[in-house]
């Protein structure tokens, strides 16, 4: 058994949540991490572009992909260690992220509840250092297992060497070098719940929960996300399209003085995080539509494909949004999804 299957000229329309039409010159579905060494012996992988594709929930195809798209299908999960207070959970890259959240909560483990219903796979989680409602996955990752393309070996990388930052990691910055195959998370059985992010306490109250547990927080956040964000199965999208911008504290103070309703969050020494959604909505883009490319009516941070929009049309819209926010507020927006086939170059 080779552990992989190859196919040529494969449609990617069903492999990205924007549901834009695009094709890959070659697709490799990989069912075993140890098959990657043999796969990368092929000249087309050594010499041409390679894209590791999960559920395509953090990608925008602005054109066809001329190289090999790799889809990791292994999706196992197990507890490696358990000392009663914490457990070390190992999950394969192909597992659905929300399925992992539910799996850990069902075993009495805390930590991932604020990240319930984030789309995508486990393998994408450390690359993007995914996060939501005040929590990031990098807080819990102990080890990332990844195939190192230049050596042909699978390496175990400690969290301290992953360079986790806001929606960033060494795996994102060195995407040509690594293929994430699994992660190991250290999760506690008891921890103080983080409930101070917008709407969480109110949702728990609406659910009639007075003494919340982690499973209640996951349910509350799932309900909020379901209301705020369009379902990609119904309306093509990749969730939040722009990162919340980080600015100097003085810049944030000046913007807050000029726009008192602007949400501002602490973000480390001398920095503040602004709400990209608020900036975009204030610039008049919420609910905008041009052809089939548009902005979700319920959330200004989400670009949507109403049917037949191309990736190039969605990218053009994103650039125009960023340029208008830059012009009005002096704040540059960066896209959160990875853009394939073009550069963003917007807003600056």
- Angstrom distances, CA of residue 97 to CA of 78, 183, 347: 14, 11, 31
52 and 27 Cβ atoms separated by less than 8 Å: no
Residues tagged active-site: 167, 240, 336
Distance CA 241, CA 239 (A): 6
């Amino acid at each position: 058994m080779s552990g992989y299957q190859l196919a040529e000229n494969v449609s990617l329309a069903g492999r990205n949540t924007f549901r834009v039409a695009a094709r890959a010159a070659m697709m490799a579905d990989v069912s075993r991490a140890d098959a990657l060494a043999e796969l990368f012996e092929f000249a087309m992988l050594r010499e041409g572009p390679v894209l590791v594709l999960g559920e395509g929930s953090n990608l925008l195809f602005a054109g066809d992909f001329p190289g090999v798209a790799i889809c990791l299908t292994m999706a196992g999960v197990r507890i490696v260690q358990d000392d009663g207070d914490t457990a070390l959970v190992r999950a394969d890259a192909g597992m659905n992220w929300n399925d992992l959240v539910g799996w850990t909560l069902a075993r009495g483990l805390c930590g991932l509840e604020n990240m319930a219903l984030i789309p995508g796979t486990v393998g994408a989680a450390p690359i993007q250092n995914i996060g939501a409602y005040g929590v990031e996955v990098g807080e819990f990752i102990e080890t990332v297992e990844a195939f190192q393309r230049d050596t042909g070996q699978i390496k175990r990388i400690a969290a301290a060497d992953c360079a986790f930052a806001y929606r960033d990691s060494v795996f994102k910055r060195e995407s040509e070098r690594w293929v994430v195959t699994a992660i190991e998370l250290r999760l506690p059985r008891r921890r103080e719940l983080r409930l101070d992010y917008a709407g969480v306490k109110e949702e728990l109250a609406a659910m009639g929960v007075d003494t919340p547990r982690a499973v209640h927080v996951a349910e509350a956040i799932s309900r909020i996300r379901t209301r705020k964000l369009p379902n990609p199965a119904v309306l093509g999208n990749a969730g939040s399209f722009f990162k919340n911008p980080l600015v100097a504290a003085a810049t944030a103070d000046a913007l807050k003085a000029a726009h008192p309703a602007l949400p501002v969050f602490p973000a480390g020494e001398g920095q503040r995080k602004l709400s990209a959604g608020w900036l975009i909505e204030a610039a008049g883009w919420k609910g905008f539509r041009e052809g089939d490319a548009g902005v979700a009516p319920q959330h200004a941070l989400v670009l949507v494909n109403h049917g037949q929009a191309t990736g190039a049309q969605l990218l053009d819209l994103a650039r125009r949004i960023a340029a208008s926010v830059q012009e009005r507020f002096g704040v540059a927006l960066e896209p959160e999804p990875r853009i394939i086939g073009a550069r963003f170059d917007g807003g600056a």
